[in-house]
Structure 1
Amino acid sequence: MPAQAEPDWLNPDVQGEPLPPPEQPAEALPQPRSKPNKAVEEIVAEQEKKVERVTNPVAEFAGLDKITGRITSFDVYINETVQFGALQVTPKVCYSRPDAEEPKTDSFVEVDEITLDRKIRRIFTGWMFAESPGISAVEHAVYDVWLKACKQKSNVPPPEQAKSN
């Protein structure tokens, strides 16, 4: 058998026996951990904490009229419907996080279109995310609608007050 220039531990030597794996220096071997790092434990515990979501009574939307190019912001109370052009927007819930936390704002929304023959047709049902409006914005031939924020208060009077005035 011809001699190999550099024997490989997977290839048999002259007697046909596999060579042992090469020795690793002691510093390359994993060392047993004596004590967990307290700073690492605190970070992991911090990440594992469940952040509570805040339920809000008002969802703030933005709407684009593609004909005029005008963008309009409007507030909608939960389970109320607001008309934007030929669209009717109804948020069912609107969640956010406390101010000290990373922002995550989402709302479950239903959007209906009033057709030219005065019929109502559902064009969107689902979650909208304020931090990623492109994922779930309603794209209509004439109007686009997306979630901007969830709020505790609005300058728009609540539906009960609007009816009594």
Structure 2
Amino acid sequence: MRALAAAFAAALCCAALPAAAQGWEPKRTAELQLLDKVTARVTVITAGVGQAAPFGTLSIQVRACNARPVGEVPDAAAWMEITDSLRPGVPAFRGWMFANAPGVSMLEHPVYDVRVLDCK
């Protein structure tokens, strides 16, 4: 039990460190895969950090996008704020999304699905 508590404390400690200190490199654009569940249309877009990317009724703001350096296991993580024009004032999603673990933190929306593919 102590080993589990120590591992959890170490994970919390490292989560507070800047991206560069954890082996992540900040990037300028996020490659996102978007799914319209009604039409089954899949779209891949490139969204710049700090710029809004529209998709249907969604507005996707990528605030940060980090990737693992060359030579490490490829992965990407993006901090995003997603709003839906049909529900103004209520964020549809705010947080980190991970390319290698999309189920950890995901958009829960009846019509759309958003996934991070890469940060470049």
Q: CA RMSD in A?
A: 1.6
Identity %: 34
- Spell out the pairing of 1:107-146 with structure 2 (5 A cutoff): 107-115=78-86, 119-146=88-115
Contact 1:51 1:97 (8 Å CA) reproduced: no
Structure 1 residues 34-53: aligned runs within 5 Å? 52-53=23-24
Look up the match of 2:117.
148
Tell me whether 1:77 sits opposite 2:56 in the alignment.
no
The aligned counterpart of 1:38 is: none
1:94–1:150 contact (8 Å) kept in structure 2: yes
TM-score, length of structure 1 as denominator length: 0.57
- 3-state SS in 1 of match to 2:104: helix
Shift of 1:51: 5.8
- Does the 8 A contact of 2:92 with 2:108 survive in 1? no
Amino acid at match of 1:128: M
Mapping of residues 24-35 of structure 1, within 5 Å: none
Q: What displacement does 1:98 show?
A: 1.2
Structure 1 unaligned regions, length at least 5: 1-49, 152-165
1:53 Cα offset (Å): 1.7
Q: Computing the radius of gyration over CA atoms, which structure comes out larger, 1 or 2?
A: 1
Of structures 1 and 2, the one scoring higher in RCO (CA 8 A, sep 6+) is: 2
Name the structure where strand makes up a greater proportion of residues: 2
Mapped contact 1:115–1:121 kept (Cα < 8 A): no
Where 1:135 maps in the other structure, the secondary structure is coil
CA offset at residue 104 of structure 1? 2.7
Q: How many residues align?
A: 100
Match 1:66 to one of 37, 57, 72: 37
The residue aligned with 1:3 is: none
Alignment partners' CA distance in 1, 2:90 and 2:102:
23
